[in-house]
A and B are shown apart, each in its own frame.
Chain A
Amino acid sequence: MNFLSGIQATASALNAEKVRMDVVAQNIANAHTTRDTDGQAYRRKVVSFEALLGADASIGGVKIDGITNDPAQGELVYQPQHPHANADGYVQMPNVNVAMEMVDLLTASRAYEANLAVARNARQMAAKALTIGR
């Protein structure tokens, strides 16, 4: 018995958007991190999605393809007193642009809302179907 058909696709999309928001949170949190685990400046993470097909090539939803590093180069800031400054006194800053992260955050939030609307409508349709003949 599957009353709310297609709800699995919506659930996976909600999951994906949540991961996207987590990635944005990580990027904003590390907007000024000059040392990552590899000793370099932090590089912003980008999440990519992949369509998921069901067993019979039907609705399957979406899954996280992967979280990768943005290869763009961050700016060099002259701060000779900084402990991570190089020999010339320049510090490699992370390539995070907070304004862009905010745009990503809003996109994730709106996409989440859209999927919630799908879930709400699926439920309303099922509830309406139950009132047939009344």
Chain B
Amino acid sequence: MKIGSLPVPQPLELQQLYDSARNKGPGQTGETNPAEGIGGLQMAGPAGKAKFDNLLDSAVSAVNGKMQAADAEKTKLFTGETDNLHQAMIAMQEASVAFSLMVEVRNKLVEGYQEIMRMQV
């Protein structure tokens, strides 16, 4: 299963929303400096977008790598190259956990996007 080849959705709308929200009311509520962010976290500026993409991309390819490793173990087991049943099972479980994590991250992203889209303007 190749999931690295799937197109990664670009969070363009989110970025635009964030940029416009930051540019509209700087003088009225000057409670935090945007560069400092919240809780010491660096807010993702326009330069940070590519970084997040990279992060997502590397996470997806890591999951893909785990799945390919599990596939390789399975093939080795079926062709009789090895008789380590447990290694194949462990590789498959690892791939399963990694995939679940990726799905959870995706669900959270979509949830956040929909929350913003539901916002009353």
Contact = CB atoms under 8 A, between A and B. Distances in A.
Contacts of A11: 86-87, 90
A130 B101 CA distance: 7
Nearest to B84: A15
B57 interface: no
A35 interface: no
A3 B90 contact: no
Given A1-B62, A7-B90, A11-B90, A127 B97 contact: yes
Interface in B81-106: 84, 86-87, 89-90, 93-94, 96-98, 100-101, 104
A133 B93 CA distance: 23
A57 B17 CA distance: 49
Contacts of B56: none
Contacts, number: 40
Contacts of A10: 90
B59 interface: yes
B104 A4 contact: no
A119 B89 CA distance: 10
Number of chain A interface residues as a range: 10 to 19
A28 interface: no
Contacts of A1: 59, 62-63, 66, 98
A126 B63 CA distance: 15
A4 B84 contact: no
B101 A3 contact: yes
Nearest to A11: B90
Interface of A: 1, 3-4, 7, 10-11, 14-15, 18, 116, 119, 123, 126-127, 130
25 contacts: A1-B59, A1-B62, A1-B63, A1-B66, A1-B98, A3-B94, A3-B97, A3-B98, A3-B101, A4-B90, A4-B93, A4-B97, A11-B86, A11-B87, A11-B90, A14-B86, A15-B86, A119-B86, A119-B90, A119-B93, A123-B97, A126-B97, A127-B100, A130-B100, A130-B101
